[in-house]
C-alpha cells in the first residue's frame, strides 16, 4: 500500500471537486466562495436559482463542504440575502419633523424600488415558518437585519424630542407599519404605483392622526 504524500494535492470528493475544507487555512476561503456563488445566483436568477448543485458547481467547492458550513440551503440563502442588503442609513439631519418623515419615507420607497432583492427578501421571509417556530431559527439573522433596515432610522427620528413634543403617545412599531405598510403593499401587489405626492399624503395622514387636538380643532 502506497504511503500518503502529505505534500500532495487534497483528496477529491465523490463529486470530483476538491474537498478543501479539510485544509485549515482554506476554510474561510471555501465558505466565502460558497457565499459568492450563492449571491451571484440569487442576483441573477432569484431564490429558485440557489440550489446545492448550482452553488457547488459555480463555487468549485464540494457538496460535503457546503453542508459543513451551512446546514441547509435555507441557511445559505439567508446569509446570501444578508450580504446583498444595503447598509442602514441615518434619518435626515435637517428640517422639521414633517420634512424629515417625508424624506425618510421617500428614501425607504427608493430602497424598495431600486433594490428588488430587498423586496424578494421580504417576500421570502413572509413565506417562511411561523415566527414562533423553531424552524424559523435559520432566518433569525436575516429577519433581524431586515427589521433593522426599516426600524433604525424611524426609531431615531420618532424617539427624538420633536416627535415626542408634537405627537401624542404612539407605538413606534405600529407607526412604522402605518408609514411604510402602504408602500410595501402597493409594490408587492402592483395595485398602484405610488407617487411622491402619495407618499407625502401618507405622512400627512399619519401626523394628523397623531397630533393632539389644538383648542381651535378640539
- The per-residue pLDDT for range 158-198, each reduced to its tens digit, is 998 899 899 999 999 999 999 999 998 998 888 999 999 99
Direct distance between the N- and C-terminal alpha carbons of the chain, in angstroms, rounded to an integer: 95
Domains and CATH numbers, the chain: 20-84 (1.10.10.60), 97-210 (1.10.357)
Task: Identify the band that residue 138 occupies on the pLDDT scale cut at 50, 70 and 90.
Answer: low
Angle value at C-alpha 186, between 140 and 159, nearest 5 degrees: 55
Q: Which of 84, 126, 90 is nearest to 108 (CA)?
A: 90
Q: DSSP 3-state assignment of 93?
A: coil
- Find out whether 196 and 106 touch, Cβ atoms under 8 Å: yes
Tell which phi-psi region holds residue 171, choosing left (phi > 0), alpha (psi between -120 and 50) or beta. beta
- The per-residue pLDDT for range 200-214, each reduced to its tens digit, is 999 999 999 999 876
Give residue 6's pLDDT.
Answer: 38
**Alpha helical stretches, state H, the chain:** 27-45, 52-59, 63-69, 73-84, 97-114, 116-126, 140-158, 161-166, 172-189, 196-210
Cα separation, 64 vs 70, in Å, equals 10
Q: DSSP 3-state assignment of 18?
A: strand
Cα separation, 205 vs 200, in Å, equals 9
Q: Beta partners for 18?
A: 12
> Is 0.95 surpassed by the pTM of this model?
no
Q: What is residue 123's DSSP assignment?
A: H
Cα separation, 5 vs 186, in Å, equals 63
Mean pLDDT score across all residues of the chain: 81
Q: What is residue 12's DSSP assignment?
A: B
Cα separation, 128 vs 126, in Å, equals 5
- Find out whether 125 and 117 touch, Cβ atoms under 8 Å: no
Task: Identify the band that residue 21 occupies on the pLDDT scale cut at 50, 70 and 90.
Answer: very low
Res 127 pLDDT > 80? no
The three cell numbers of residue 191 are 395595485
Amino acid at each position: 500500500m502506497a504511503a500518503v504524500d502529505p505534500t500532495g494535492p487534497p483528496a477529491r470528493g465523490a463529486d470530483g471537486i476538491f474537498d478543501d475544507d479539510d485544509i485549515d487555512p482554506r476554510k474561510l476561503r471555501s465558505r466565502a466562495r460558497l457565499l459568492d456563488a450563492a449571491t451571484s445566483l440569487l442576483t441573477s436568477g432569484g431564490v429558485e436559482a440557489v440550489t446545492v448543485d448550482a452553488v457547488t458547481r459555480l463555487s468549485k467547492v464540494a457538496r460535503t463542504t457546503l453542508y459543513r458550513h451551512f446546514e441547509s440551503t435555507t441557511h445559505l440563502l439567508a446569509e446570501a440575502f444578508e450580504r446583498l442588503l444595503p447598509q442602514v442609513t441615518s434619518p435626515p439631519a435637517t428640517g422639521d419633523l414633517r420634512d424629515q418623515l417625508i424624506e425618510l419615507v421617500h428614501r425607504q420607497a427608493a430602497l424598495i424600488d431600486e433594490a428588488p432583492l430587498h423586496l424578494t427578501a421580504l417576500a421570502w421571509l413572509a413565506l417562511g415558518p411561523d415566527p414562533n417556530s423553531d424552524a424559523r431559527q435559520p432566518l433569525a439573522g436575516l429577519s433581524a437585519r431586515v427589521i433593522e433596515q426599516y426600524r433604525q432610522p424611524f426609531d431615531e427620528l420618532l424617539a427624538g424630542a420633536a416627535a415626542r413634543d408634537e405627537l401624542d403617545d404612539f407605538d413606534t412599531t405600529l407607526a412604522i407599519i402605518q408609514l411604510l405598510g402602504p408602500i410595501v403593499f402597493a409594490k408587492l401587489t402592483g395595485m398602484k404605483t405610488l407617487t411622491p405626492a402619495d407618499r407625502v399624503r401618507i405622512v400627512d395622514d399619519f401626523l394628523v392622526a397623531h397630533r393632539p387636538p389644538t383648542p381651535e380643532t378640539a
